[in-house]
Homo-oligomer: A and B are copies of this chain.
Amino acid sequence: MEIITYNKISRNKKLKLLQRPVIDMTKTYRVVQPILTDIKSNGLESVLKYSKKFDGFSEKRIKVTVKEFEDSKKLVSSRFKKAVKAASNNIKKFHKLQLPKKYSVETMAGIKCSREFRAIENVGLYIPGGTAILPSTLMMLAIPAIIAGCKRLVVCSPTVKNLSNEILYVAGYLGINEFYKVGGAQAIALMAYGTNKIKKVDKIFGPGNQYVAAAKALVSIDPNGCAIDMIAGPSEVLVIADGSANPKFIAADLLSQAEHGNDSQVILCSTNKGLAEKVIKEIKVQIEKLPRKSFVEKSLENSAAIIFNKTDDAINFSNSYAPEHLILNIKSAKSYLSKIQNAGSVFIGKYSPESVGDYASGTNHSLPTYGYAKSTGGVSVEQFMKGITFQELSKEGLESISTTVIELANAEKLQAHANAVKIRLKK
C-alpha cells in the first residue's frame, strides 16, 4: 500500500486515483449473450445444460423441495438461527420506514392529482455462491421485497454439490418457497425470460461475478427481458481517518473489505501521515492470520493511502470517488455528514466497522459500486415498488386548464391532443 501526498501529485495522477480499474465488459457480453439467447429460445433444457457445464450440477430437478427447507432447520446451529433473527429484526426495523407514502393534491380547482405505490409483482433475487456463501445477501434482498409486498419472490443460487444449509434456512425463515438451484448467467436468463413452467420475473436483484453482472446488464437492455437493480462492480471502501483514530481498527476495516475478492478497492484518506504509516504496519500484522490472505494481498496492490491537508479535502475527494462504503473515523465526524454527496453507506465514528452494515445494523449491504453512488442508492423497499400517478378532473377543472393544454398541443402540432379537450367542452 503506497502512501501518496495529494497536493504533490499531478492533475493527471489525481484523476487516476479516482478511477476504478478499467472493466471492459465487451468480451464478457460476447460470452454471455449466446447463453441468454439459447435459454430464451429453449428454456429449462438449456438452463440444465449450462448448469451442468459450468457448475457440474447434474440433477434434473432444480427447485428446492419442502423437505430440503425443513432439513436445513435441523442442520444449522442454534447460534446461527439466533444471529439470523437478530439481524433480520434490525433490517426489518430500518427498511419498514422506507415504505413510500401515497399523496394527493389539487393542483388547480377541479384537478385532483395523486400518486400511489404498488409492489412489483414478480421479483428475482440472485444469491452468489462462488468464493463465499452469502445468507446475509438473501436477508438484504428478501426483507425489503417482503416489506414492499411483492407477491412472488424467486431465488436462484448456484449449487455444486449441496446448497448451503445456511442459505436454505434463511429462505425458509423468511417464508420463501420458490428457490432454484441455478447460478451464473443461466440463472439470470431463467428469471428474465422464464420457461414453459416458470413465469418470468419483472425485476432482478442481487450481486454476482462478471458473468452474472453481464447477464443482468444484457437482459436489462432487451425489451423482452426485465429490469434490474443496478450494474455492480467490485466491492470498495474508503476510510477517512485522522490522528485520533486507532490504526488497528482502520487496518481491520481495510482488510475486511480487501478479503471480498482479488479486485476489491481499498482507500485510506488521512490528514496524518504518521497514522497512515501505522495502519500499513498494522495491516502486515493482521493479514498473517487471515484465511483469505491471497485475495487480500491481491486487492491491496490496487489500494492507496492518500494524505490530505484538510479533512474537507478528503471529503471532496471521497465525493468525487463516490465509494460504496465510507468510514468516517475522525473527530466530530457528524459535522461532516451534510457535506457527503456521493456514497453508498456511511459508517460514523470508531465503533462502526463496515462489517456491522454488512450484516446486522439494519441498513442494506447491497450498495452501488464503481462510482454508481453518484446516481444510485443501495437496495431499498422503494426499488421493489413503482409509483402510479392518477388524475381526476371535473368539468370545471378541465375548463380551467383547457387553454393551456390546447396552446401547448398546438405548439407541438399534436392536433388530436387538443381535440380530446375541445370535444369534451363543446356545447
Contacts and interface: CB of A to CB of B under 8 A. Distances in A.
A418 B358 CA distance: 11
Contact of A25 (B221, B253, B286): B221
Contacts of A413: 132-133, 291-292
Contact of A258 (B333, B348, B416): B416
A394 B345 contact: no
A97 to B, nearest CB: 5
A412 B134 CA distance: 6
A420 B355 contact: yes
Nearest to A353: B420
B23 A403 contact: no
A197 B287 CA distance: 44
Contacts of A416: 252, 255-256, 258-259, 286, 290, 292, 296
B291 A415 contact: yes
Nearest to A296: B416
Q: How many copies does the complex hold?
A: 2
Contacts of A346: 388-391
Interface string A56-75: 00000000000000000000
A30 to B, nearest CB: 12
A172 to B, nearest CB: 15
Interface in A74-100: 79-80, 82-84, 86-87, 89-90, 93-94, 97-98, 100
A408 B347 contact: no
A23 B223 contact: yes
A159 to B, nearest CB: 17
Contacts of A391: 345-348, 352, 356-357, 361-363
Nearest to A97: B103
A375 B202 contact: yes
A113 B248 contact: no
Given A94-B113, A358-B417, A378-B387, 19 more contacts: A22-B224, A25-B222, A25-B223, A79-B403, A83-B411, A113-B361, A134-B412, A223-B233, A223-B370, A227-B376, A252-B423, A291-B413, A333-B392, A346-B389, A347-B390, A352-B392, A361-B401, A363-B391, A377-B387
Interface in A321-361: 333-334, 337, 340-361
A185 interface: no
A414 B132 contact: yes
B361 A107 contact: yes
Contact of A393 (B98, B258, B361): B361
A71 to B, nearest CB: 17
A1 interface: no
A20 B421 CA distance: 28
A289 B107 CA distance: 32
B389 A363 contact: yes
Contact of A105 (B94, B249, B256, B291): B94
30 contacts: A20-B223, A23-B224, A80-B411, A111-B362, A113-B361, A116-B337, A133-B412, A134-B412, A218-B221, A226-B375, A227-B375, A249-B423, A252-B423, A256-B414, A256-B419, A292-B413, A346-B390, A348-B391, A355-B405, A356-B391, A356-B398, A356-B405, A357-B391, A358-B405, A360-B408, A361-B393, A363-B389, A364-B389, A373-B386, A376-B386
